A and B are shown apart, each in its own frame.
Chain A
Amino acid sequence: MLFSGIPFLFYFLPAVIILYLIAPKCLKNTVLLVSSLVFYAWGEPRFVIIMVSSIALGYVFGLLIEKFRGRIAAKIFIALSVIMSIGILGYFKYADFMISNFNAITGLSVPLLRIALPIGISFYTFQLLSYTIDVYRGDVAAQRNPIDLAAYIALFPQLIAGPIVRYSDVAAQLKQRSHTLDRVALGIRRFIIGLAKKVLVANALGELCDVFRSSGDKSVLFFWLYAIAFALHIYFDFSGYSDMAIGLGKLFGFDFIENFNYPYISKSIAEFWRRWHISLGSWFRDYVYIPLGGNRVSKLRWFFNTLTVWMLTGLWHGASWNFVIWGLYFAFFLLIEKFFLSKLLDKIGTARHLYVLFFVLISFVIFNAADMNQAFADIGGMFGAGGIPLVSTEAVYYLKNYAVTFIVAIIGATPFPKKLMEKLQLKKGFSTVLSVAEPIVLAAFLIVIAAYLIDGSFNPFLYFRF
């Protein structure tokens, strides 16, 4: 089920809220768990069993690891837990990738398994891994109540597209959480803003990307429009989802980690990754990079650690070489920034932003390509390869057609609107106007969003495939 869908907004969510409100405190997590399973089954009825099995394994291993903490058995159980979790993820997500590479290397023709990817498997597997590893490390106590653990893993607001919520961050809230007017209002505000980012901006830019792909009238301008549109699309799509997840979390009394912090204003690639998909970056840092030794090792080893983490980051996004290249591409920039580039960048002032935007733009062209051939063709097209014209009729039309959306998206991707609001809040007259306007604007947003959904077609979130 999609947050940005009529069934969710006008059938599922009101029903869940009512059930949650009337349920006694001891049953609230059960309500959340059952509704989360329904939410998941709505899109993938067959794969509920995979998720439930993964949760059951996590639950049992958590208890066993805690019971045998400090003993060799705990090591065996954590190893088993990690192997089984990654094994399930690997089977569903990477089996065909490995087989096709094996076939390419050996010349054999091992048939592909063609397994459908369970929605959100990368997200909930990483949450389970963080749970069992944290229990092993002694950072958290194992959860004895299977309902609470299952509710944490399957919690529908963040189940299928993150943020990757650590058990340690919500363990206390699984037992005790507050539902204040302020939190609920904040949650509603955040949810509607996220929904608007997705429905009004990301979907429109996604349409433009589709139009580009099917166009026979390519030009340099069109390739650039596509690259910019996709970079903004993926940001508004994914950060919109994260906003909705965080907002829904607040409705039900949870505080989820922030996942984005205006990444396109970054002045270096390293900063970009501190602002983009924060929950994934911190997961890899805490569960892969630091265990490998981090940067407190020899240069060669640090080099290896960095490449490993970024190759895995790329692979996490998809079983395809362009994702691996995409991850390593960022590793390259992070390494050269560390070695020498950041000193040079310091000297060029605000042009640092252009450096980040340019290379991030290129990265997302690689990211969205079907394969590396298409990635090279798209990047080549941005620079006129193949003798394509500078401008085409279609490019000019779509530039005009989406001009306002681009302007809204570009401004919306910066902290400017937020800062402006904060400044206006401080002015007495404006403050009153804003207070009156805010509920009206939110209600208007909801109506306009519903209008777009009713008129629009099925538009799944980009990050569901991960």
Chain B
Amino acid sequence: MREKTKNIIVIVLVAALLATFSLWCWLREADTYSDSERRVLAKFPTLNTQTLLSGEFMSKFEDYSLDQFPMRDTFRQIKALTEFNLFLRLDNNDIYLADGHVSKIEYPIKPDMLDNAAARFEYLYETYMADKDMNIYLSIVPDKNYFLAEQSGHLALDYDELIEYFRGKTEYMQYIEVRDLLSADDYYYTDTHWRQEKILDIAQRLAAEMGVTLSATYTENTLEHPFYGVYSGQSALDLTPDTIKYLTNDVLDGCIVTSYDSGEPVIKHVYDLDKATGKDPYEMFMSGNDAILTLENPAATTDRELIIFRDSFGSSISPLFAEGYAKVTLVDIRYVKSDMVGDFVTFEDQDVLFLYSTMLLNNSLAFK
């Protein structure tokens, strides 16, 4: 090929690429939400003298141009594939693939975050429980990196160290170990959470340690809607979706779930099937991350009650406690201030379980 022809092809090809995407950028209608990243996308910034002179317009336009680029998810996928296949990176934006799972590196241990979480728990204990006849329990759920990271050559937390450190700060609680009952396959492949159908033994262990026997049998129901977990979108790769299964029986069918987030009691569902087809299908469990929820079992043969301070791992396991308690109260201190919990929950003689994942304890800034 003659040099001149080659140069013409270079110019035409690059100019065509630039012109196509440039026009597309200029003319396309802006999206408002990214399903894959589960976040609101930047809008075109306000243009006026003040925003121009302060540089605010330019700064926000940078975000806008990145968020609204045509075929954004395809480009993110190209980047991920290049990182993994060309540069042989072990992770892309901390996301890695191992053993059929996609996960996100959680490293290193952050003592200040653990201290913050422990301080919040101690505040709750001192404010609401210390002078009551209550049994307080703590169980730490390992994120799935516990089973995947070290084995696949990725940076991994020292979970023994983390848990020992945290137990040392929460000695007023009785610790319940559950790691020996879990494996990587007890978690969704594309999501951070555990599978409800795989954690019956965890619920039984926790309940047994609290003096309650769980022995109910459940019907396993499978959602038809595919579940692309949070890491699926973050990885930007084409991954096989998970399937959500949920457990039902007569006891659960008769349970009443009430949310107090709006200030007034609002009846919700143990399994919200509308949310199962929404942006985050895992939110179907106990209707998602409400600050204060109660699960009442009218068929209970006991008047025992359980209060669970929890993160989203608590959403899928809490229905499994319904069998053994008349009432289970779920409190998420990411969404309600610790000093306001007493406005919604009366602490008397209930069992109290602090059930948190390592991931949240190690990133506890959201605790209020």
Contacts and interface: CB of A to CB of B under 8 A. Distances in A.
B69 A404 contact: no
Contacts of B62: 5-7, 458
Given A192-B14, A451-B75, A439 B9 contact: yes
Determine chain B's interface SS by DSSP, over half rule.
Answer: helix
Given A14-B22, A185-B7, A439-B6, A455 B55 contact: no
Contact of B6 (A11, A13, A45, A435): A435
B266 interface: no
B75 A181 contact: no
Given A401-B89, A455-B93, A46 B53 contact: yes
B72 interface: yes
Contacts of A400: 90, 153
Contacts of A456: 79
Contacts of B18: 9-10, 13-14, 446
Interface in B1-29: 1, 3-11, 13-14, 17-19, 21-22, 25-26
A170 interface: no
B86 interface: yes
A432 interface: yes
A342 interface: no
Contacts of A7: 58, 61-62, 65
A443 B11 CA distance: 10
Nearest to A455: B79
A426 to B, nearest CB: 14
Interface residues of B, number: 49
A337 interface: no
A456 B63 CA distance: 11
A204 interface: yes
Contacts of A188: 10-11, 14
Contacts of A45: 52-55, 58
B170 to A, nearest CB: 24
B342 to A, nearest CB: 38
Given A5-B62, A188-B10, A404-B86, A11 B76 contact: no
Contact of A397 (B5, B9, B19, B154): B154
Interface string A36-66: 0000001111100000000000000000000
Interface in B59-82: 61-62, 65-66, 69, 72, 75-80, 82
Contact of A447 (B6, B17, B72, B91): B17
B41 to A, nearest CB: 12
Contacts of B236: 455
B184 to A, nearest CB: 20
Contacts of A14: 18-19, 22
A216 interface: yes
Nearest to B93: A455
Contacts of B53: 45-46
Given A403-B88, A404-B88, A450-B21, A443 B1 contact: no
Nearest to B92: A455
Given A181-B11, A397-B90, A439-B9, A216 B108 contact: yes
A442 B13 contact: yes
A394 interface: yes
A14 B236 CA distance: 29
Interface residues of A, number: 54
Interface in A162-206: 181-182, 184-186, 188-189, 192, 204
A100 interface: no
Contacts of B19: 14
Contacts of A9: 18
B173 interface: no
A335 to B, nearest CB: 42
A458 B1 CA distance: 40
Nearest to A405: B87
The SS class assigned to the A binding surface is helix
Given A204-B87, A442-B10, A6 B153 contact: no
A44 B58 CA distance: 10
B189 to A, nearest CB: 22
B90 A450 contact: no
A463 B236 CA distance: 32
Nearest to B58: A42
Contact of A401 (B1, B13, B14, B91): B91
A184 B82 contact: no
B155 interface: yes
Contacts of A181: 4, 7-8, 11
A10 B65 contact: yes
Contact of B14 (A405, A432, A442, A452): A442
Interface in A419-466: 432, 435-436, 438-440, 442-443, 446-448, 450-456, 458
Interface in B68-117: 69, 72, 75-80, 82, 86-91, 93, 108
A451 B82 contact: yes
B75 A454 contact: yes
Given A14-B22, A401-B91, A451 B79 contact: yes
B69 A6 contact: yes
Nearest to A445: B14
B75 A450 contact: yes
Interface string A13-53: 11000000000000000000000000000111110000000
A7 to B, nearest CB: 5
Contact of A184 (B3, B11, B65): B11
B296 to A, nearest CB: 46
Pairs of residues from A and B, 6 with the lowest C-beta to C-beta distance, nearest first: A185-B7, A435-B1, A451-B78, A451-B79, A451-B75, A14-B22
16 contacts: A1-B58, A5-B62, A9-B18, A11-B65, A13-B18, A185-B8, A217-B108, A401-B91, A439-B10, A439-B14, A443-B13, A447-B75, A448-B79, A451-B75, A453-B66, A454-B66
Interface of B: 1, 3-11, 13-14, 17-19, 21-22, 25-26, 52-55, 58, 61-62, 65-66, 69, 72, 75-80, 82, 86-91, 93, 108, 153-155, 236
Given A185-B6, A404-B87, 18 more contacts: A5-B62, A6-B25, A7-B65, A9-B18, A10-B18, A11-B22, A11-B65, A14-B18, A43-B58, A181-B11, A185-B8, A188-B10, A404-B88, A439-B13, A448-B82, A451-B79, A452-B79, A454-B72
